[in-house]
Each structure stands twice: as C-alpha cells, then as structure tokens.
Amino acid sequence: MKKLWITEVALRDGSHVVGHQFTKEQVRSVTRQLSAAGVPYIEVTHGDGLGGSSLQYGFSKVYDIELVKVAVEEAGNSTIAVLLLPGIGTIEDLKKAYDAGARMVRVATHVTEADVSKQHIETAKAMGMEVVGFLMMAHSAPPEVVLEQAKLMEAYGAGAVYVTDSAGAMLPSDVTARISLLKAYLSVDIGFHAHNNLSLAVANTLAAVEAGATRIDGSVCCLGAGAGNTQTEVLVGVLDRLGYETGIDLYKMLDLADDVRTNILPAPQDITSGSFIMGYAGVYSSFLRHAVVAAEKFGVDARDILVELGKRKVVGGQEDMIIEVAQQMAEKRVSIS
C-alpha cells in the first residue's frame, strides 16, 4: 500500500465559510474528533493565515493563537499546523504559533513570488518546525514556472512543496502536468490542495496522487472557501477503495461530518453560481464573500465582478480591488443609462 498524508483544513480554510467566527469549543470538538480518527495534520488559523484577523480580511471571533492552543490540547498524536502568508503573517506571529504548540507551518505565496518565503521558511526550520511551501493560484502559471518557484522553496529548506489550486480552476490534466514535473525534479515531498468550484476536487486530488503527490488536503463536509475543498470523508473512502493507506478511520470521519453538518456548517457547500464562476474565471476562492458584499452595496452582479477580477488576474492580498471593480461597474452602468 502506498502511504499518503492528509492535512485537514476545515479549521483554517473553513474559517472563510463561518466568517472567521470559530469558537474555542468548536475547535476543541473538531480537533478531538479528527485526532481520534487518526488524521495526521490539522491546520488551525484564520482563513487567511496567521495575522489574518483584520478589517481587510475579516476579524476573527477568537485570536488564532488562542485557537492553536486549544487545538494542541486536543491533538493527541496529530500535529497542529498553521498557515502563514508573508505580508499578512509575520515572523513574530510564527514564533507565537510555535510557543502555542504548532509544529508545522505552511508558508504560502503567490505562485510566482516564492522568493518572499525565504526568511519565513528558514526561520521555521531553525525553530525545528516541519516546513511546507505552498504555491497558491498555481493554475495561473505554466508548469515550468511552478517548478522554478518550487525549487526556490526547496532550496530555502521546505520539506515539501504544494501545488495549490486556490481558485478551483484546474482540470485533471493541469494537475498532472504540474505534479509530475515537480516529482521529476524535486527531492522533497509533493503536495496538492484543491478547491471544488468546478466539481473536480476529488478527481484533481486523485490525479495528483497518481502523478506522485504524497501529501494531500481535505476538509470535512467540504468546509472551505468557494465551493469548499476536497471532502475528507469522501476522499478517505475513495483512497481506501483504490488501495492507498491514509491511517484515517472512515467511520469516525463520517461521524464528524454529521456533527459538522449539523452544528457548524451554516449552509450546504453547494457549487453555487458564484463559486462556479470563481473556478471558471480562475479567481481566488476566498473572494466570493467579498464579491457578494460589494455587489449588494453597488447594485451589480457578483458574477460580473468575479469575471472581471479574473480578467485582471487579481490575486490573494488584492481584496481591495473587489470594491474598486464593483464601484467602476456601477459608475459605468449609470453613465450608459
């Protein structure tokens, strides 16, 4: 059996779904159940990573370092991970997360900006953390560029590098092209993080595994930005059918999914017209909530905002552009009328 390592991202990517309002009690309960199910890595932070609680990205109900502490108390044999985007999170945030008990960090950059991760990767490695490079919006760069940037993260000391489909825009062939190239030229583990905006998260994750990825992400009940991530309980069952070893108890994950669906998920993680458009246009999955708010404020269609953002190749960290685009559309409509 081929061994795979799954990182559960519901307590990080799922933060977008609940408006970053996770409580300590929710984090405690979900972490306890994930650990009991044998999930090796559990990521816990604001949806936009350490330091993400802000006016621009949305304020958290509970400071994410406090949530990390709670998760660590319940983690058992699982490792608590954090996400850090240089420019949002700082070295000081990273040190606080380590002191709180986090032992893995995924340092995330735009797919063409891996060079900004150097200090954070090197610092985390020096602290003794397991360090992962996370190349976001990987659909927006050709495979050769993804490889070039992945090599930088490897050189800085990352023990694994992820191809991250932040927009849920990839087709299985896109995944295969990128993962297989990294597998051929890197000596570290290769990972893949999917979003389900085109209903391809499971298919894309399987394509990644077949191309050589050994680290993959899942989110219970699909809880994540846009139409969500690869549904962990489904992924575990499918991988078991295919003969892969995850070490995760399927029934316990199904029980957790029922709990999350009843007590946390505010609405089903369906592929709405908005989340589909994000995948179709290749737009960062966390933009949907912001686009809906902007659309209501300016009286325009959120889908038009997302398509225009895709045309402008707007990336994570440029959320201010959502308001600008919505305002320009409203002004244009008025001038035409």
Any binding-site annotation on 120? no
Catalytic, out of 16, 46, 110, 139: 16
CA 110 – CA 164 distance, rounded (Å): 9
Any binding-site annotation on 166? yes
Any binding-site annotation on 13? yes
Active-site residue 120, yes or no? no
Any binding-site annotation on 333? no
Which residue ranges are tagged as binding site for substrate?
12-13, 166, 193, 284
Q: Binding-site residues for Mn(2+), please? A: 13, 193, 195
Residues forming the active site:
16
Q: What are the binding residues?
A: 12-13, 166, 193, 195, 284
